[in-house]
Structure 1
Amino acid sequence: MFDKYYKIRESIDIYTLDEKDNLCKIEFYRINTRERKAIKADRIVLDILAELDGKKTLEEISTILNIDKKSLEKFIKFLLQNGYLIESAQNEDIDDRFIRQISFFDDLVPNSRGVDAQKKLSEKKIVIFGVGSVGGDIAILLARAGIKNFVFVDYKKLKKSHIEKHLYCNKTNIGKHKTEALKEHIKRIDKTINIKCINEKLIPYTNLDAIIDKDVSLVINCADEPYIGYTSIKIGRYLWKRGIAMFVGGGFDAHSMSTGEFIIPNKTACIDCHINSFKKALKDWKPTYNTNRFKTIDDYKYYKNSDYVEIMDYDDIIVGGPGSIAQCSLFSASYASMLIIFYLIGMEDIQSKRGEYLINKGVFSWIDFTKEECEICKR
């Protein structure tokens, strides 16, 4: 312990009040959670706190202050146990770009260093199906957070109408594949990021082996055609067998300010349980959409005969829903990105429920998912 460097977490404020008999009251205030804790201690404690700047070892602090090591060790353990103190990174190559984010992680993850959380992010590989307004925003936010490896899957090209909601769309890239335009945008943020673009439509017979490598950390599904539930079942069943987690994106159709859930093999309910729970929760919901037909009767027959799709009539295929604005998509993407980052850096309490922000009420409405009696979840 005495050869290590420690510093007070950036998110901890310390206040002092004078007391009698050479004692003082010290209050620790956690900025992010508003938690407070006060102690009474000898004034020498104030000197110790002042020296905990991450640049001196405890051995050096003990010598400078001429303080008994046992007393110093006892106080340091108190600070560590309460999460007020963190071991300082020495001689590590830290990108100044992430300084504030690392400080945030210092406080977010108990008994862990923010620099280690940041390193975890840089080592992850993410696949995103559907890089429209929500999927594209998620990719941009994750890239800014430090993710270095992506695979983008989307067959569509940018149109003029996408300028309003796709943050990476502008007059110069209209007509380009969404994947390629998004790649160019992200490369301007960080040219060292690795991005693979797959300009294909996700269909029932898509070979996912050709898209999802074994080293993928997480798959994010924002492909909402013909419906997010159908695409999630195809991807979710594939990933469950391979032990890869999936996050189901929100912000689609009539749920323009919604956020999705995690499907984590052997931890959460499987995708089939989620779909069943979703059906029960929305059994009385009858949305109205603009509709059209499949391009060919063969496409329709393939979906109609698939064992995992309860498809609508041939004349009722969704091609569009209610209107939305960029702020709604960014809301969904921002909330999703926080949950995704928390999962990737190893936080244990991971959300596995779907929520929709009700803009007229200023609150979330949640659907909880539970394990059903199914073959996939059976232990």
Structure 2
Amino acid sequence: EIFDETLIPEGDGLKILAVWTSLESQMIRLISQPATEIKQPPQQLIYKAPFLPQKTAATPHAEDVHRYHLETIKDGTEQFDRIESTVSHLYRRPHPILDYQSYGQAFLAKLREEKEVESGSRILEVGGGMGSISTDIMAELKKEGTPIEYTIYDLSPSLIRSQQKMHRQKGVQACHILGNGEFLALKDESIDIALSNEVIADFNTPEVKTSEVQDYLFDHEIPMTKEFFNPYKDEDAQEYVRVNLGAFQLLKELMRVLKPGGLAVVTEFGYQDRLPFRASHLDHAEYSIQFSQMISVAAALGFNLYLTDAFDFLGFRSDVNLITAFSYQAAFRIMESLGVYLPNMAYTPEMLEDELGSYYNGFRGLQFVGVNKDPFKVVKFLVCQKPDSIPQDQA
């Protein structure tokens, strides 16, 4: 009716509405039902502008990811609550969607289905975030009396401090190494289990002329199967492509440092049918992972492997209602105006009520919706096991 009355073509009108209702503009807000059917308007508007910090190229070291991690990141909580909220961060507390496990606890349970965590095992985490996964894994193993050595390789001094703070609070301890996870200063065959969770999008992803990719990877001693080049066979193939070189180098390093029979699980957002592209919502350069090429490199290195995703690997449930991103941001800004910090999590109504206490009853219009599998499905889990050593008499 609006388009008919204004003589605006429907396609153009929908584009205009998309801009006007966006989080960045917030010029208008659509209601969920006809105005004539609404008995009482919300007592408190659930939005305050601006919701999201502006992401611009002015961010220090936005293109130089190494310097960004070394110098720009100041605090783990701020980084993952306000700038880059990963799936693991949103589910860092025990949650009904994971049968009341945290992400880290669920990760450990699934690791154990792949490989036994024995007393004295050495576990490596490449990129430790703010420390929630390592804390939960070490705390669980400590509680059951399984001593292990846990090492975290991280490029950010600030994130290491956040990890250490969280570890102290839970009475656990890890060895921290400040360094680039693409090149591990670790001995050969020294690690039993390795994990890298939602990290490798930050790794080196150079732009290479498509016709020169094979020579480029050969110069960097990256092996691959012939299937590696399938994504370039499209008639509309680009002249230049991004190559997940850093992620390939990590796979190569993991094959070196894992003990025979060792396990590695590498997770990140990406696709099997799309070439690497830059994430547009962050304040620094991150690139998606081309997982068919990751499989090619891992297979050429000699790993036994399979590819799955966060939803299937960790066993996320689909019968839980979660707060929408719009409603969380609204609640965050309102609580901020009251001097209360609302952590960024995937709240259920019950979790949000527990978090807000008496404030919760003052809200109207918050939306909780059923689980959308897509955000979980786009986070891939590459599960790699290093073969056992070949007996000397068979070599």
| TM-score for the superposition, normalised by structure 2 | 0.30
More helix by share: 2
Higher relative contact order (CA 8 A, sep 6+): 2
More strand by share: 1
